Structure 1
């Protein structure tokens, strides 16, 4: 199956029912997207598909055919971090760090839709689970990134 991942066309010779997460991690060796729960509850596996935050652990590959897939690997670089990545560091969001790639992808989808989100917008969009409980820092980082993008 032909996929568009991070702006590049890639081939994956797998069952179309295989979850996107496992194609990314096990077939394409893109390990930035994490496995958390396997039932779309925690959000560690969040990627963007055509700009929407999607839980890749339950998304069959057939469901993303012909769509633009964006993973954490394309969000920014060490030399030029995305505004969210810079804000995450400034607000000291990461603790254990396991949920961070999914959180960042969900936050990126939110800011694309709502460049100046309210607290209520953030609370509604950010359904990812952080075992370390950094939710207030996540909110502050999203507001900081929204201000930087202005």
Structure 2
């Protein structure tokens, strides 16, 4: 999924590219306006849009001060939500069928950052500690970032 397609799924939000954003800040949502740093690679932009949409769907209040525990919790929740918004179980099946196994290869194939892929694997590991059966496969997500795929006979 690319940034443009994600944006089209949430037309109630306004998306603005803000060239004056600090280099370290990729995105920010205020009310229903998503401000995006235009100096991002395509896969970074997609991940940023997903995270800001996740904040829209899951966060409340001003969470810009990450020194506060509640802000950090909401930030982490939005990141996990965004990762699983972008990477679905069928994507892991596709990666398996393509014979990809290096993290960077898988992330490049899915057009996401390696960080988002790691976050997705960790979240699926947390949600499905005993494995996930999907599309004729059994997937085991491990906290160390590895995945095992079994296809029953």
TM-score w.r.t. the length of structure 2 is 0.33
TM-score w.r.t. the length of structure 1 is 0.34
* Relative contact order higher in (CA < 8 Å, ≥ 6 apart): 1
Higher gyration radius (CA): 2
Q: Which has the higher helix share?
A: 2
